[in-house]
Amino acid sequence: MKRKRALIGLLLLVVAVCILAVTYWIMHRERPSSGVQLYVVNQDGRPLPDCFTSTARRGYDGPVTPMAVTTNAQGAVKYDLSYGTYDIEISCPGYIYGEAHDNTAVIDINQPRIVRRIVMQGVSVPTLGEEVVDGLPQQ
């Protein structure tokens, strides 16, 4: 009887250790990654160099190191990111992105290589005494 209890206890311990090991593996496994190349351009398709970009992964509670990169002379920036959905914030003086003017592009990474153009809209810089609403000069 004692031997049977000891074997059942040992079996339960082995099962618990296996469950913990699988849980740890799922949470810390390497996720596939993708080479992401972005081209930041204006409405005419001209590259915008020296734009600051930073990424944040959506819906992921694990440790994330923020990645910030400045576009090169061709307006290009490269990231190596795990599969998932990312917000990429673009800061380029005199330009905005999107209708909400929040300068955030959303990219879904679900394949090994992604190339995407991000078109920034030019805005005029307000002059002294000009009213600004939502970050845009008013006429």
CATH of the domain at 99: 2.60.40.10
Q: What is the pLDDT of residue 134?
A: 47
127 within domain boundaries: no
Percent of the residues in the chain that have a pLDDT greater than 70, as a whole number: 77
On whether both 2 and 38 belong to a single domain, the answer is no
Are both 47 and 94 inside the same structural domain? yes
What pLDDT, in 10s, does the model give residues 80-131? 888 888 888 888 888 888 766 678 888 888 888 888 888 888 875 544 455 5
105 in the same domain as 43: yes
- Do 79 and 42 belong to one domain? yes
Buried b (16+ CB within 10 A) or exposed e, 86-102: bebebebeebbbeeeee
Domain count, the chain: 2
**12 with 40, same domain?**
no
Rounded Cα gap, residues 26 and 14, in angstroms: 18
If pLDDT is split at 50, 70 and 90, which confidence band does 33 have? confident
CA distance 131 to 137: 6
Q: Is 43 helix (H, G, I), strand (E, B) or coil?
A: coil
Domain annotation covers residue 107: yes
Residue 22 belongs to domain spanning? 1-30
Average pLDDT, the chain: 79
Residue 110 burial by CB count (10 A; 0-12/13-18/19+): exposed, middle or buried? exposed
